[in-house]
Homo-oligomer: A and B are copies of this chain.
Amino acid sequence: MTTSYNEIAGRSVERLAALSDGIFAVAMTLLVLDLKAPAMEVVHSDGDLWRSLTSLSPRLLVYMLSFMTLGIFWVGQQTQLNHLQRSDRSLSWIHLVFLFGVSLTPFSTTLLAEFLSYRLALLIYWLNILLLGTALYFSWECAKNKELVKPDMPESVPQAIQRRIIIGQALYAFGASLCVWNTYLSIAFIVLVQLNYAVAPRILRSRS
């Protein structure tokens, strides 16, 4: 009997988690490189320094937004991987697609922040989030169908994981569709959804 390479490839959840943490860590810190201390020549007083730093504040906000988006999906991916007993080749590749989306997040967030009033920038940002959500959804489908989940997982876990993804993506899609009226409205709605997922989980606890 021959063993297919595909049967033995990519089975370690630990390696997948470690690669993910590395890519998240680099993606989360890359944007700091955009924060440059002002040049000494243009600063002659605390007032000058204040003005220079104020002009940096949009970049700082973008950085916070990007960090928060990545944080949300880092928690989401971790929650899935914690329930797996092993990985396999297909699951590894679904997560590599997910990680590709992660590495694009700093770019799409910067784009959105610089072109707040353009629908295209918003659309790209939303497509990025959609890619992340879709990859996570199919990763869980794959894990369930191939029985990669731990046998002691409570029965209600799969539903909780997928419901969260669907509700979240529905909210993001609704937010993105608001750009037909106004992109600022879209962005405000999406940021509120993200803030809710990041800092105010209790509000929606009963529903999600």
Give residues in A with beta carbon < 8 Å to B: 1-12, 14-15, 17-19, 21-30, 32-33, 35, 37, 40, 43, 45-46, 49-50, 53, 64, 67, 71, 74-76, 78-79, 81-83, 89-90, 92-93, 96, 99-100, 103-104, 106-107, 110-111, 114-115, 118-121, 124, 154, 156-157, 159-161, 163-164, 198-199, 201, 205, 208
Known pairs A4-B160, A5-B208; A64 contacts B100 (CB<8 A): yes
CA distance A24 to B26 in the complex (A): 10
Provide a sorted-by-A list of 30 A–B residue pairs whose CB atoms are within 8 angstroms: A3-B159, A4-B205, A5-B161, A5-B208, A6-B205, A9-B76, A10-B75, A11-B78, A11-B79, A12-B78, A18-B18, A19-B21, A21-B22, A21-B25, A25-B25, A25-B26, A26-B29, A27-B29, A27-B32, A29-B30, A30-B33, A40-B114, A45-B118, A53-B120, A64-B100, A71-B93, A75-B93, A78-B92, A93-B199, A96-B198
| Assembled-state Cα–Cα distance A22/B17 (Å) | 11
Decide: A6 near B201, CB < 8 A? Known: A18-B17, A40-B115: yes
Q: Tell me, rounded to whole Å, the shortest Cβ–Cβ distance linking A181 to chain B.
A: 15
Q: Specify the main secondary structure of chain A where it touches its partner.
A: helix
Chain B residues, Cβ within 8 Å of A4: 160, 205, 208
By a CB distance below 8 angstroms, the chain B residues around A104 are 32, 35
Measured CB to CB, the closest approach of chain B to A163, in angstroms, equals 7
